[in-house]
Chains A and B, each alone.
Chain A
Amino acid sequence: MTNNTLFQDGYHEIAPAIVVNKLTKCYKKFKALDDLSISLPKGKIIGLLGKNGAGKSTLMRCMLGMLKYQGEIAIEDEIVSHRDSSVFENVAFIPDVSGLDDRLTVKQTIDYVSQINPKWNETTANKLMQISSLPLNKKVGHLSKGMKTKLYLLVTLSLDVDILLLDEPTLGLDIAFRKEFFNTILGEFFNEDKTILISTHQVEEIEPLLQEIIFIDQGKIILHADVEELKNSFNVVSVANDLKEELLSHKPKLVTKSLGQISGILPADILIDNAHYSRPQLADLFLAHVGGYNETI
């Protein structure tokens, strides 16, 4: 299979890093992914946003061949089959759970990855070791959640791979560490040849990093767009309560009320006199597309 047969959206001109075509994954009767197709370009940081159970983790695990599925997935032109270890020759992954082996020490974990992964970069690893201050002889099981994430980050970012998949990598971590985490990703890993797919609930924290965004809901891709273009094509329109009817006549999304004002998300080409316009956040746009609290009144 070549890119041409898989690449159907015509959205990207450069060769994609990952192509997914008609992907369906069922857990017994529950359809976690429903005939999903998507193409992820090289050299971008892409956000994957969805509610709990939308299919984010399942999509990533299918991309890595960890789950059985129907459909086709290709990473850098290579078809991914179930439990095909060659996928990981150029892909690294941090899952939503601390998947590290609690029975090994920090040193044993680092030595293990350095030996079994040919993409291990000793220079990067030493650099990350210096800033991580991890206790080498401590068992992973005795580390705090933050330390475990640091270790996972260290062993993942020390790999010279082109694609990084991060599935809720900062879940349960405090804000200071979350910031440090994303700064490390940008500082130590990302460049124009690399592709990062991040799924997170804290989209506002990574919004400045993202170049593309994917909204997923009920196993389907709702939207895949360039972040800047998406933000430019909508406005958060706020009007005084006496202009409420005019605002609602345009059928805005995500309508909210506050202190004598009413706001909603409208396409950028809709203008209302005496309204205040602001740039929408990705979280607002997500709720506007997928639906959430206060979406209508």
Chain B
Amino acid sequence: MKQFKGLIQKEWNTYKKVFMVPIWLAIGFYALNILLSLYSLTRHNFVFTVPIDINPDHLNLGTYFIAQIAAILPYGLMIIFIIKIVSDMMNDDFKNKCAIFHLAQPVSIFKVIIAKISLVLFAGYTIPLVIALVNQVIFSSIFRYYADFQVSYSYIAFIQTSLIVIIPIVFLSSLFLMLETIFQKKSYMYVVGAFVIETLINIANRVWSLKVPSLINNIIYLSIGKTMTNPFDSQKYLFQKVSNGAYSILTQSIQEIWINLFDILNLWRLVLSVLFIVIAYYFYKSREIA
């Protein structure tokens, strides 16, 4: 456990600045908004108002969607940084010629990999969670001031989003951990490779009238498919839920999340995530320390 803690601390000390970028961006976003609001208020006397004849159910539904977007954005942002962090974690020790120091210690490569992915998953989930929570508090407080909606919808959206992103984060982190370990310094190659394969599939499908499924579509589906509720596809369904009240949507949402967690797609994602980590381990272990 002491070794594991040491490994985690080393990774955190090395990459904390990159992990914290989303927090600085969020602070920057709010600072900019405050400045713009103050400017609008003082120069143009602009005050945000909500039409008084709006249907309360529509208001609650709108709030629910906006809150969901406010919650999902930090996670989406974090995914970009996760790709950067896993790439650096798996390759920078070699680029900076310090792998010889880190790997000349009596600690198994498996433990090293698990420490790296554990930090990525923990920080990659917790940091956007904090930002999403702040978003919800600010969003719901401001909107509550202007409009009469049920604040609970905003928090339900936050809780719901924070739960459903867990497995996609695990999947994407593991996928990029594997890709960055395999391709090392030429990590752009997997993007090029995916597009080349996709083009070949398209050509083959057209020329020979085949029905080979799209690689990129499948990757996207495996990554985030069924994660977000599509407001356009299921608007009626959601509207019905919202009309039934906050308690109803909360209980239904939690039930859906639990059902989704044991969904075959999520099971696949978890199985593939484990497989990706194992592959990353073997590629990392097979590297020579020259």
Task: Collect the chain A residues with CB atoms within 8 Å of residue B14's CB.
Answer: 101, 103-104
Task: Collect the chain B residues with CB atoms within 8 Å of residue A116's CB.
Answer: 2-3, 6-7, 10, 105-107
Establish whether residues B106 and A88, one from each chain, have CB atoms under 8 Å apart when the complex forms: yes
Task: Collect the chain A residues with CB atoms within 8 Å of residue B108's CB.
Answer: 85
Of B2, B104, B109, the most chain A CB neighbours within 10 A belong to: B104
Residue interface mask B1-33, A partner, CB < 8 A = 1: 011011101100110000000000000000000
Establish whether residues A97 and B105, one from each chain, have CB atoms under 8 Å apart when the complex forms: no
Please measure, in the bound complex, the distance between the C-alpha atom of A275 and the C-alpha atom of B226, giving whole angstroms.
Answer: 94
Establish whether residues A97 and B100, one from each chain, have CB atoms under 8 Å apart when the complex forms: yes
Establish whether residues B98 and A101, one from each chain, have CB atoms under 8 Å apart when the complex forms: yes
Q: Looking at the complex, which of B139-147, B165-173, B256-264, B282-290 is the stretch in contact with chain A?
A: B282-290
Task: Collect the chain B residues with CB atoms within 8 Å of residue A66's CB.
Answer: 100, 103-104, 288-290
Please measure, in the bound complex, the distance between the C-alpha atom of A82 and the C-alpha atom of B103, giving whole angstroms.
Answer: 12
Please measure, in the bound complex, the distance between the C-alpha atom of A227 and the C-alpha atom of B109, giving whole angstroms.
Answer: 39
Q: Looking at the complex, which of A105-113, A182-190, A249-257, A264-272 is the stretch in contact with chain B?
A: A105-113
Please measure, in the bound complex, the distance between the C-alpha atom of A92 and the C-alpha atom of B6, giving whole angstroms.
Answer: 18
Is the C-beta of B96 less than 8 angstroms from some C-beta in chain A? yes
Of all chain B residues, the one with the shortest Cβ separation from A25 is B288
Is the C-beta of A83 less than 8 angstroms from some C-beta in chain B? yes
Establish whether residues A118 and B9, one from each chain, have CB atoms under 8 Å apart when the complex forms: no
A202-220 contacts to B, CB under 8 A, are none
Establish whether residues A88 and B96, one from each chain, have CB atoms under 8 Å apart when the complex forms: no
Task: Collect the chain A residues with CB atoms within 8 Å of residue B2's CB.
Answer: 115-116
Task: Collect the chain A residues with CB atoms within 8 Å of residue B7's CB.
Answer: 116
Is the C-beta of B148 less than 8 angstroms from some C-beta in chain A? no
Is the C-beta of A279 less than 8 angstroms from some C-beta in chain B? no
Is the C-beta of A93 less than 8 angstroms from some C-beta in chain B? yes
Is the C-beta of A99 less than 8 angstroms from some C-beta in chain B? yes
Task: Collect the chain B residues with CB atoms within 8 Å of residue A68's CB.
Answer: 288
Establish whether residues B6 and A111, one from each chain, have CB atoms under 8 Å apart when the complex forms: yes
Closest CB of chain A to B85's CB: distance in Å? Answer: 13
Which one of A82, A93, A111 lies within 8 Å of B9 (CB-CB)? A111
Task: Collect the chain B residues with CB atoms within 8 Å of residue A111's CB.
Answer: 6, 9
Is the C-beta of B97 less than 8 angstroms from some C-beta in chain A? yes
Establish whether residues B106 and A118, one from each chain, have CB atoms under 8 Å apart when the complex forms: yes
Of all chain A residues, the one with the shortest Cβ separation from B3 is A116
Of all chain A residues, the one with the shortest Cβ separation from B284 is A83
Whether A93 contacts B10 in the complex (CB less than 8 A), given A66-B289, A67-B290, A101-B98, comes out as: no
- Report, as a range, how many residues of chain A touch the other chain: 20 to 34
Task: Collect the chain A residues with CB atoms within 8 Å of residue B5's CB.
Answer: 115
Establish whether residues B105 and A85, one from each chain, have CB atoms under 8 Å apart when the complex forms: yes
B217-261 contacts to A, CB under 8 A, are none
Task: Collect the chain B residues with CB atoms within 8 Å of residue A102's CB.
Answer: 96, 98
Is the C-beta of A146 less than 8 angstroms from some C-beta in chain B? no
Please measure, in the bound complex, the distance between the C-alpha atom of A152 and the C-alpha atom of B288, giving whole angstroms.
Answer: 22
Of A68, A101, A104, A113, the most chain B CB neighbours within 10 A belong to: A101
Of all chain B residues, the one with the shortest Cβ separation from A64 is B104
Task: Collect the chain B residues with CB atoms within 8 Å of residue A108's CB.
Answer: 9-10, 13
A40-57 contacts to B, CB under 8 A, are none
Of all chain B residues, the one with the shortest Cβ separation from A57 is B290
Is the C-beta of A262 less than 8 angstroms from some C-beta in chain B? no
Task: Collect the chain A residues with CB atoms within 8 Å of residue B104's CB.
Answer: 64, 66, 88, 92-93, 95, 99
Residue interface mask A50-87, B partner, CB < 8 A = 1: 00000000000100101110000000000000110111
Establish whether residues A99 and B105, one from each chain, have CB atoms under 8 Å apart when the complex forms: no
Residue interface mask B95-136, A partner, CB < 8 A = 1: 011111111111111000000000000000000000000000
Closest CB of chain A to B5's CB: distance in Å? Answer: 6
Closest CB of chain B to A92's CB: distance in Å? Answer: 8
A169-194 contacts to B, CB under 8 A, are none
Task: Collect the chain B residues with CB atoms within 8 Å of residue A67's CB.
Answer: 288-290
Establish whether residues B289 and A86, one from each chain, have CB atoms under 8 Å apart when the complex forms: no
Binding site for B on A (CB under 8 A): 61, 64, 66-68, 82-83, 85-89, 92-93, 95, 97, 99-105, 108, 111-119, 152
Binding site for A on B (CB under 8 A): 2-3, 5-7, 9-10, 13-14, 93, 96-109, 285-290
- Cβ-closest 10 pairs across A and B: A115-B6, A66-B289, A99-B100, A99-B101, A116-B6, A101-B98, A88-B106, A89-B106, A116-B3, A112-B10
Q: A67-B288, A108-B10, A116-B107 are in contact. List 7 more A-B contacts (CB 8 A).
A: A83-B103, A83-B289, A89-B106, A103-B14, A108-B13, A112-B10, A115-B5
21 cross-chain CB contacts under 8 A? A61-B289, A66-B289, A67-B289, A68-B288, A82-B286, A83-B285, A83-B289, A85-B105, A85-B109, A88-B104, A88-B106, A95-B101, A97-B97, A99-B97, A101-B96, A101-B98, A111-B6, A112-B9, A113-B105, A116-B6, A116-B10
